[in-house]
């Protein structure tokens, strides 16, 4: 589904990603783990097209298309979704307006008919059940005054409504208590299908107890230094990131 080849990216002239290679197929869940400052979130932002990052080398193919050549909204139309670590608050604009605007632009780009308010509301209510969200959130301003858990749940609601092919979850577990973590993970798991894929970016193994990855990649200093199965996450949990650094030193 997505193939990342030798991806280099800068922010404010500083190189953060130094040659990422990664291939994700439909039906797979990949976890990207790594210490703070390793470039995990940068990778997530670059894949979604944040304008603050400049790609200096490499390419990213999404279903055969050049992803890096697309605007952020075009990537969304193509089926890429980013769940934000820090979702943005938009006062005055209702959750339902926001989501309907996004969904209808995606549908329009695919030549599908736009949903009217009635059809959309029906869909939204179904999806709210998936993430166990109260219907009072329909008409509340986007993320304004939401708790940390409510914001993350709202991200997964958006994912449920927009039905992306590739979902990138950026530190979705940060700031969540265990109950919220379970609800959010269960929402992600319910949305999983053989035709979509998920990249989970996380610092801690904790989330991976609930969203079980097929592959785990360890990112250090802008490079993937180790890849493995879900057991790699447990190893990291037990030994910390230091053992990877030591391995790197020994092999150097």
Partner 1 sequence: MSVEMNHYTNEFQTFQQNGAAKSPDWVNDVRTAALSVFTGKGFPTTKQEDWKYTNVTPIARAPFRYSASAPAVPAELVTSLLIGDTEQHLIVFVNGHFSAEHSRLQSLPAGLTVKNLIAAYGSHADLIKAHLSKYAPYDKNPFTALNTAFINDGAFIHAAKGTKSSLPVHLLFISTAAGDAPAASHIRNLIIAEEGAEVRIAHSFASAQDNTNLTNVVTEVSAGRESIVELVKVQRESEKAFHVEHLHVHQEPRSTSRVFSLAVGGAIARNEMSVIIGGETTECNLNGLYITSGEQLIDHHTFMHHIHPECPSHELFKGILMDKSRAVFNGKVYVEPEAQKTDSKQTNRNLLLSDEAVVDTKPELEIFADDVKCTHGAAVGGMNETHSFYLKTRGISEGSARGILTVGFAAEVTQKIDDPVLRRFVDTIVVDHLRRKFGTGNLPEIVHA
Nearer to partner 1 among residue 35 and residue 148 (C-beta):
148
Q: Which of 250, 249, 243 is nearest to 35 (CA)?
A: 243
Pairwise CA distance, residues 83 & 172, whole Å: 7
Looking at the Cβ atoms of 158 and 196, the one nearer to partner 1 is 158
In whole angstroms, give the CA distance from residue 247 to residue 132. 43
Number of residues that bind partner 1 (CB under 8 A): 38
User: H/E element holding 103?
Assistant: helix 95-109
Binding positions for partner 1, 39-68, rule CB under 8 A: 48-52
Instruction: Identify the residue among 19, 27, 35, 102 touching partner 1 (CB under 8 A).
Output: 102
User: Closest distance between partner 1 and the C-beta of residue 73, in Å?
Assistant: 4
When asked if residue 103 is in the footprint of partner 1 (CB under 8 A), the reply is yes
CA 210 distance to own-chain centroid:
16
Asked if 144 touches partner 1 (CB under 8 A), the answer is yes
Could you say which of 8, 18, 77, 223 contacts partner 1 (CB under 8 A)? Answer: 77
Report the residue number, 98 or 210, with the smaller CB distance to partner 1: 98
Q: State which of positions 191-230 bind partner 1 (CB under 8 A).
A: none
With CB under 8 A as the contact rule, the residue among 63, 126, 145, 229 that binds partner 1 is 145
162 scored as a contact of partner 1 (CB under 8 A): yes
Binding segment for partner 1 (CB under 8 A), chosen from 14-22, 81-89, 113-121, 231-239, is 81-89
| Comparison of 82 and 124: residue with beta carbon closer to partner 1 | 82
Dist. CA 157–CA 134, nearest whole Å: 11
For residues 81 and 159, is the Cβ–Cβ distance under 8 A?
Answer: yes
Q: Long-range contact list for 202-205, CB < 8 A, 24+ apart?
A: 202/31, 202/32, 202/33, 202/40, 202/169, 202/171, 202/172, 202/173, 203/33, 203/34, 203/35, 203/36, 203/40, 203/171, 203/174, 204/173, 204/237, 205/33, 205/233, 205/234, 205/236, 205/237
Q: In the window 113-142, what residues touch partner 1 (CB under 8 A)?
A: 139-141
Under the binding rule (CB under 8 A), the answer on residue 160 touching partner 1 is no
Q: Could you give the CA distance from residue 19 to residue 9 in angstroms, rounded to a whole number?
A: 8
Q: Report the residue from 90, 121, 212, 234 that binds partner 1 according to the rule CB under 8 A.
A: 90
Binding site for partner 1 (CB under 8 A): 48-52, 71-73, 75-77, 80-82, 84, 87-88, 90-94, 97-99, 101-103, 105-106, 109, 139-141, 144-145, 158, 162
């Amino acid at each position: 589904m997505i193939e990342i080849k030798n991806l280099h990216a800068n922010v404010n002239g500083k190189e953060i990603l130094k040659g990422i290679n990664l291939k994700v197929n439909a039906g797979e869940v990949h976890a990207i783990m790594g210490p703070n400052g390793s470039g995990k979130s940068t990778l997530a932002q670059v894949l979604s097209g944040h304008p603050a990052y400049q790609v200096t080398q490499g390419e990213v193919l999404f279903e055969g298309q050049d992803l890096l050549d697309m605007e952020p909204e075009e990537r969304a139309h193509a089926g890429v979704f980013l769940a934000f670590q820090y979702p943005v608050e938009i006062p005055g604009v209702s959750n339902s307006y926001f989501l309907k605007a996004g969904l209808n632009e995606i549908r329009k780009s695919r030549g599908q008919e736009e949903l009217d308010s009635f059809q959309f509301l029906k869909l939204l209510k179904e999806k709210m059940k998936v993430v166990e969200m109260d219907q009072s959130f329909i008409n509340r301003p986007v993320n304004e005054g939401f708790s940390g858990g409510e914001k993350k749940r709202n991200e997964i609601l958006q994912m449920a409504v927009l039905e992306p092919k590739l979902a990138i979850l950026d530190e979705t577990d940060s700031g969540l208590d265990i109950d919220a973590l379970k609800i959010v993970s269960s929402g992600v798991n319910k949305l999983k299908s053989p035709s979509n894929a998920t990249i989970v970016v996380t610092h801690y193994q904790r989330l991976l107890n609930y969203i079980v990855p097929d592959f785990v990649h360890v990112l250090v200093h802008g490079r993937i230094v180790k890849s493995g199965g879900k057991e790699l996450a447990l190893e990291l949990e037990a030994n910390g990131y230091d053992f990877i650094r030591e391995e790197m030193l020994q092999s150097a």
